[in-house]
Amino acid sequence: MEKSTDKMSVRESWQVFKFIFKFLLPFQRYFIWAFVFSVITTALASLMPFVLSVFMDSYLTPMKATDQIIFYFAGLYLLLAIINSIAFFFKWNYLQNGSIFVNQYIRKKVYGKIHQLGMRYFDQKPTGWLITRITNDTDLFDFWQTLFNALTSVLSIVIAFVALFVIDHKIALVMLLILPLLILAVIIYQKVSTKVYQAMLAKRSELNTKLNEYISGMRIIQQFRQESRLGNEFEKTNDEYYGYRKKVIQINGILLSPLVNFLMAISIVVVLLMYSNRSLHAVVEAGLIYAFISNVQIYFNPISGLMDSLSNFSNGLVASSRIKTIMEEQEFSPKQGSESSVNKAPLIEQGKIEFRNVSFSYDGEHQVLKSISFIVNPGETLAFVGHTGSGKSSIINVFMHFYEFTEGQVLIDDQDIRTFTKEELRHKIGLVLQDSFMFVASVTDNIKMMNSQITDEAAKEAARFVQADHFIKDLENGYETKVIEGGAAFSAGERQLINFARTIVRNPKILLLDEATANIDTETEALIQDGLTNMRQNRTTMAIAHRLSTIKDADQILVLNKGEIIERGNHDELLELNGYYADMYRIQTLQKEL
Ligand SMILES: Nc1ncnc2c1ncn2[C@@H]1O[C@H](COP(=O)(O)OP(=O)(O)OP(=O)(O)O)[C@@H](O)[C@H]1O
């Protein structure tokens, strides 16, 4: 569940603040410089009305303003204005750059962390949710600006108050009495706005998640004519989102500037009344009133700005708490031989595979693999067959060590799988999934997977080896044809062939195949079978088979049912056993004949 600031305790908020503030430290010099320039601009903003008031009261009103004096004051005022503008430019520049760099740094760290997490984590989190976390939540630009503005606002109020005090300490003290009212206004605004603002953000996140789901599931949506149902759902969420947006606008319209402006107007009236009262007994200088009122404005202005950006602060704090949760996530991908022990870590040389009494569960409750044991000798082929959900893919998931398992042992070349480095496992084990993902790049780059150590010639050689060469050559631009997102322009069989080439170009010692179940035309099917036969030469292979005809020549076939091995042997032995496998084989042969 998303946490909002009103649900976060003060202690929690402080923890989150300390956590996120650490990311700012490497860039603190930007913020320190921004602050220095901020002090200069604030001091100048308070000083400039003074210069004018001296000019008005000492020269203009008593009619002593000579050309030289006018020139002198105009020059001084202009000089202060130029210095102010330059200081403002530097303040702005340092602040913007600092904020951008911190954001970039946080995003890099979160992205890096996501890569360390295990499949279990991704099973639980919708893709849209994760994308929102990495893109929106790491965008703390407004948060840093608000934090900085809060600091400079306090500075501005203090400087303006000192100026007011210097001009007239009695009236300045009256202004001090208004301060609690201002603080009260800020608190009321914060209370009312935060709730609505958080609700609006939660809706936006929901909208993103939905959108991502719709776009990635478009094929199914169209196939099952779900457009109007999902369209209505989307419209409802979108309407709710805009409803909250409207509320935010209304609250801001009523409470934001009008409230502070109203308090400021009252203060100015009080100031004028006090000066009027005083003018009954003594001369009151107009310039002084001008300087005073200018500083009253400087005293009030930061407050409405601060209130306006308060939502940024609470929003940033919520986003930071989500970043904190991701950064502290302990659902890591299973541990492999560490980088430091690379020299000692074993290498996969023979490709012998052994499972010893392996049991596994995704959620810690339901056992999907129960005491699985088998050995595949180097160069042999082992096939898994069984009903859907029987655990075939889970064996591959455990073998690839995508998930941690707690019971039993998985060995490669008689060494525990955990002792190999991740690089060695990924390099020496070639995994061919049913539907292969294609990246937006040329066909060659899709085979090389952007690995510059693999030459174009090697990629072509691999394509020839797996029989993918024929169809690639027939493409408009051959190997240089651009693949569109997800490889949607290729048939399932063609994607499979490219995937074969991608796997084989790395020359793995072990092959894991998840046979495609998609409808593939007979011609491509024949190419795939030839490709597979070539790939399996001199490699240990574990294959998930849906069509039993493709694994007749496997050295061993394991029949799985509800996570257990119920039959094992080669094709002839299993037929002779006349059990589950023999039944499945007969049904499939019959279907083919029909
Ligand atoms: N990521 C996951 N999280 C939780 N449970 C899962 C996950 N993946 C699979 N399962 C469950 O584990 C069991 C075995 O699934 P598995 O995918 O290994 O079966 P399979 O034999 O490969 O099926 P298919 O032939 O349909 O691919 C099923 O009950 C499935 O619901």
pLDDT, one tens digit per residue, over 48-89 is 888 888 888 888 888 887 888 889 999 999 999 999 999 999
From the CB of 388, is ligand 1 less than 6 Å away? yes
Residue 1 pLDDT: 43
Confidence of residue 516 (pLDDT cuts 50, 70, 90): low
Are 166 and 208 in a shared domain? yes
Query: Does residue 148 register a pLDDT over 60?
Result: yes
Burial, 437: exposed, middle or buried (Cβ in 10 Å; 0-12, 13-18, 19+)? exposed
Residue nearest to atom 29 of ligand 1 (CA): 389
pLDDT of residue 185: 80
Is 342 inside a domain boundary?
no
Band (288; pLDDT cuts 50, 70, 90): confident
Is the predicted pLDDT of residue 404 greater than 90, yes or no? Answer: no
Over residues 220-230, the mean pLDDT reads 82
Ligand 1 test: best mutation among 361, 384, 393, 566, most atoms within 8 Å of CB?
Answer: 393
Best residue for ligand 1 mutational test, from 368, 396, 397, 558 (most atoms within 8 Å of Cβ): 368
389 CA to middle of ligand 1, Å?
5
Nearest CA to ligand 1 atom 4: 362
- 332 DSSP β-pair partners: 117
Is 444 a pocket residue for ligand 1 (Cβ < 6 Å)? Answer: no
How far is Cα 371 from Cα 359, in angstroms, rounded to an integer? 5
CA 29 to each of CA 91, 94, 138: distance values in angstroms, whole numbers, following the listed order: 12, 9, 21
Q: Are residues 375 and 495 in the same domain?
A: yes
Q: With a 6 A CB cut-off, is 391 part of the ligand 1 pocket?
A: yes
Query: Is the CB of residue 123 below 6 angstroms from any atom belonging to ligand 1?
Result: yes
Structural domain for 200, as ranges: 5-327
Instruction: Give, in degrees to the nearest 5, the angle at Cα 148 between 145 and 154.
Output: 135
Choose one of 358, 360, 388, 546 to mutate for the ligand 1 pocket test, by most ligand atoms within 8 angstroms of C-beta: 388
Q: Indicate whether 474 and 574 sit together in one domain.
A: yes
Q: For residue 78, with 0-12 CB atoms within 10 Å meaning exposed, 13-18 middle and 19 or more buried, which class applies?
A: exposed
Ligand 1 pocket member 389 (CB < 6 A): yes
Cα separation of 39 and 77, whole Å? 18
- Give every strand in the sheet of 556-561, ordered side by side: 429-432, 510-514, 540-544, 381-386, 556-561, 564-569
Claim to verify: residue 360 and residue 322 sit in the same structural domain:
no
Within a domain: 341: no
Residues 378 and 360: their CA atoms lie apart, in Å, by 25
Mean pLDDT within 190-215:
83
Residue 405 pLDDT greater than 80, yes or no? yes
Please indicate, yes or no, whether residues 310 and 457 belong to a single structural domain of this protein.
no
- Residues 273 and 299: their CA atoms lie apart, in Å, by 19
Element of type H or E holding 79: helix 67-116
Determine the average pLDDT of the residues in 308-313: 75
DSSP 236-302: HHHHHHHHHHHHHHHHHHHHSHHHHHHHHHHHHHHHHHHHHHHHTTS---HHHHHHHHHHHHHHHHH
Mutate to test the pocket of ligand 1, among 117, 392, 435, 561 (most ligand atoms within 8 A of CB): 392
Least confident of 21-25, 83-87, 113-117, 355-359: 113-117
CA of 328 to the centre of ligand 1 (A): 28
**With 70 as the cut, is the pLDDT of residue 343 above it?**
no
Q: Report the amino acid identity of residue 429.
A: I
Check pocket membership of 367 for ligand 1, CB cut-off 6 A: no
Q: How far is the CA of 362 from the centre of ligand 1 (A)?
A: 9
Give the distance (Å) from ligand 1 centre to CA of residue 391.
6
Looking at the structure, do residues 212 and 67 belong to the same domain, yes or no? yes
Q: Please, is 138 exposed, middle or buried when counting C-beta atoms within 10 Å of its C-beta (0-12, 13-18, 19+)? A: buried
Residue 99 predicted with pLDDT over 90: yes
Specify whether 312 is located in the same domain as 440.
no
332 domain-assigned: no
Residue 123 CA, closest ligand 1 atom number: 1
pLDDT (0 to 100) of residue 342: 52
* Residue 374 CB contacts under 8 Å (≥ 6 apart), including other chains: 354, 355, 382, 556, 558, 565, 568
Cα–Cα dist 552/560, whole Å: 17
Q: Is 124 in the pocket of ligand 1 (CB under 6 A)?
A: no
pLDDT band at 565 (very low <50, low <70, confident <90, very high): very high
Q: What is the DSSP letter of 362?
A: S
Q: What is the mean pLDDT of residues 288-314?
A: 79
User: Do both 314 and 390 map to the same domain?
Assistant: no
Ligand 1 pocket test, candidate residues 333, 394, 513, 580, most atoms within 8 A of CB = 394
- Lowest mean pLDDT: which of 18-22, 106-110, 324-328, 511-515? 511-515
Residue 45: enclosing H or E segment and its boundaries? helix 28-54
Query: Is ligand 1 within 6 A of the CB of residue 393?
Result: yes
> Residue 289's pLDDT is what?
83
Dump pLDDT digits (tens) for 179-189.
Answer: 888 888 878 88
Distance (Å, whole) CA 527 – CA 495: 12
Q: How many domains does the chain fold into?
A: 2
The more confident residue out of 84 and 275 is 84
The rounded Å distance from CA 117 to ligand 1 centre is 20
Burial of 484 (0-12, 13-18, 19+ CB in 10 A): exposed
Q: What's the CA gap between 42 and 56, in Å, rounded?
A: 22
In-domain check, residue 358: yes
CATH code (residue 506): 3.40.50.300
Is 364 a member of any domain? yes
CA 542 – CA 483 distance, rounded (Å)? 29
> Does the pLDDT value for residue 518 go beyond 80?
no
Residue 344 belongs to some domain of the structure: no
Give yes or no: residues 460 and 557 share one domain: yes
In three-state secondary structure terms, 562 is coil
- State how beta strands 556-561 and 564-569 pair: antiparallel
At a CB cut-off of 8 Å and minimum separation 6, what does 272 contact?
289
Q: Which residue has the higher pLDDT, 130 or 162?
A: 162
15: Cβ below 6 Å to ligand 1? no
Expressed in angstroms and rounded, the spacing between residue 135 Cα and the centre of ligand 1 is 31
Residue 348 lies in a domain: no
Q: Ligand 1 centroid vs 560 CA: distance in angstroms?
A: 12
Q: Is the CB of residue 331 less than 8 Å from the CB of residue 491? A: no
Most confident segment among 25-39, 43-57, 317-331: 25-39
Output the residue whose Cα is nearest ligand 1's atom 16.
Answer: 391
Please tell me if the CB atom of residue 243 comes closer than 6 angstroms to any atom of ligand 1: no
- Phi, then psi, of 328 in degrees rounded to 5: -100, 5
- Better-predicted residue by pLDDT, 184 or 35: 35
CB distance 118 to ligand 1 below 6 Å: no
Say which amino acid occupies 480: E
Q: Looking at the domain assignment, is residue 335 inside a domain?
A: no
Distance between CA 249 and CA 242 in Å, rounded? 10
Nearest atom in ligand 1 to the alpha carbon of residue 560 is 21
Which residues are paired to 565 by β-bridges? 560
Examine the domain organization and report whether 153 and 248 are in the same domain: yes
In this prediction, residues 536-558 reach a mean pLDDT of 86
pLDDT (mean) for 476-489:
78
For residues 360 and 50, the model is more confident at 360
Nearest CA to ligand 1 atom 19: 389
pLDDT band at 338; cut points 50, 70, 90: low
Residue of 120, 125, 362 to test ligand 1 pocket, by largest number of atoms within 8 Å of CB: 362
- pLDDT at residue 487 above 90? no
* Shortest-distance Cα residue to atom 25 of ligand 1: 388
Report the alpha-carbon distance of residue 453 to residue 461 in Å, rounded: 15
CA dist list (Å): 174 to 83, 171, 177, 284, 369: 32, 5, 5, 18, 77
556-561 vs 407-412, strand pairing mode: unpaired
User: What's the N-to-C CA distance of the chain in angstroms?
Assistant: 53
Same domain, 376 and 241: no
pLDDT at 303 over 90: no
318 and 360 within one domain: no
Cα 175 off chain centre by: 47
Task: For residue 104, give the 3-state DSSP assignment.
Answer: helix
pLDDT-above-90 percentage for the chain:
26
Domain with 38 in it: what CATH number?
Answer: 1.20.1560.10
The amino acid sitting at 162 is V
The CA 291 to ligand 1 mean position distance, Å, reads: 76
Ligand 1: nearest atom to the Cα of 395: 18
Element (H, E) at 544: strand 540-544
Work out the average pLDDT over 498-515: 87
Torsion, Cα 244 148 325 335, to 10 degrees, reads 140
Helix (H, G, I), strand (E, B) or coil at 507: coil
The pLDDT value recorded for residue 121 is: 82
Q: List the residue whose alpha carbon is closest to atom 5 of ligand 1.
A: 362
What average pLDDT does the structure give for the chain?
Answer: 85
DSSP state of 442: B
Question: Above 80 in pLDDT, residue 281?
Answer: no
- Residue pLDDT, tens place only, 230-243: 889 999 999 999 99
- Ligand 1 atom showing the smallest separation from residue 119 Cα: 1
Location of structure tokens 């795939």: 528
Residue 382's beta-bridge partner residues? 542, 556
Pinpoint the alpha helices (H) of 117-217: 119-124, 127-132, 141-167, 169-216
